Structure 1
């Protein structure tokens, strides 16, 4: 089983559950399909499982990027990935506009900011040397819809109906948590700012949270 399922901490796991989105960080595997590095570039993207007539080789093929999989877009954002500019062109444009509006100012002020510059900011917010995950402390009531955080080693999503515990197979029922609790925020700070500005992870826009299956 390949170690290619991404959790909200950005770690890669070998689990049987399937994801709804794909993504990559470059070639992470060796000739034995073992993950030997956490990333090879700063452009961590999230992709559609299928796009036009593109036929992808089997995951972890020689010379090809290491295909990673996510439960949903909220999980991908928490891990520090952003929409691909090719297969998710419109979604990527929406994200970039919201990110600039929230972190730079007016769209005009940031119109010349390249996605590569945003990637550098995201990389500083998400990754530690050696592959660890950066997080930061915040009060739970301050977190906008779509943000993911951890308490006692469990990851949660700020959903429309409350706080939902994350798992590879989906989200649990809403749980009661103290709004004044200090939590460890997993979603990178600049993405949280974009959420506060009105940008919402895709599944939360239309159909609410996934449930356990």
Structure 2
């Protein structure tokens, strides 16, 4: 039997995680994501990216385009629980279908990186910086920081739970899983944590970008 005849895994491997991986799960996401065509000849996902523009898109068909699955030569639809997860995975808002979010992201990017508000910053400029900050040799780039120095919306690994990503939000850490967020725990601002969200995006969050959070994390 040829590879193209083999049944594909169900559920599909198309869900982003804050750890920079793509996994299969039956849980749904709230954002569509795109890294280009990641398909193997049989339609399965076999690579982490094809292009440097990693974007998050709306489910609404703004331009009347339908999502296609398991189709080589077409982009591979990926999904994220929410925007904070997508940010940790290295994505940014799409400049086409999420124009308002993208424009706000750019404004905060300028503040974060000391760029005059009148200067032009394009999607390719952002993608170039993000791509060098999110992965190296196929592995997620991480750094350490104090909890008190990190903005809401940042994903981290806590010292006592190095295998479980957690979202920092209003002084608490929310352990994450594909099903959503578990009950929060208090975090000492002096605690040192491993930061999963790329450093340039952390700076954007610190400059005032408030990511969309799913599943009742916000009060």
TM-score, with structure 2 as normaliser: 0.88
Structure 1 residue 210, shift from structure 2 partner = 7.1
Shift in Å at residue 165 of structure 1? 0.5
Q: 1:65: which partner in 2?
A: 75
Give every structure 1 segment of 4 or more consecutive aligned residues whose post-TM-superposition deviation is greater than 6 Å: none
Select the structure of larger CA radius of gyration.
2
Match of residue 183 from structure 2 = 173
For residues 83-134 of structure 1, give each alpha carbon's deviation from its aligned partner in whole angstroms, at most 9, with x where no partner exists. Answer: 00111011101101111111133312xx2222101101101110111x2101
Structure 1 residue 53: Cα displacement? 5.5
- Matching of residue 133 in structure 1 with residue 143 in structure 2: no
- Relative to structure 1, is the Cα distance of residues 188 and 209 closer, same or farther in structure 2, using a 3 angstrom cutoff? same
Alpha-carbon distance, 1:155 to partner: 0.4
Residue in 1 aligned with 2:99? 89
Q: Distance in 2 between matches of 1:60 and 1:89?
A: 27
Match of 2:132 among 124, 136, 145: 124
CA 1:161–1:51 in structure 2 vs 1: closer, same or farther (change >3 Å)? farther
Query: Cα distance, 1:161 vs. partner?
Result: 5.8
Secondary structure in 2 matching 1:50: coil
> Cα RMSD over matched residues?
1.9
Change (3 A) 1:33 1:210: farther
User: What is the CA deviation profile of residues 54-82 of structure 1, one whole-angstrom value per residue up to 9, with x for unaligned ones?
Assistant: 24243232321000000000000111100
Hey, what's the Cα distance between the residues in 1 that align with 2:127 and 2:195? 19
Say how many residue pairs are matched. 206
2:212 is aligned to 202
- The alpha carbon displacement at 1:195 in A equals 1.1
What residue is the counterpart of 2:203 in the other structure? 193
SS at match of 1:199: coil
Give a deviation string over 1:136-178, Cα, whole Å, max 9, x none: 1101121111111113111011113611001111111111333
How far apart, CA to CA, are the structure 1 residues paired with 2:67 and 2:32?
14
Give the aligned partner of residue 15 of structure 2: 5
**What is the aligned partner in structure 1 of residue 53 from structure 2?**
43
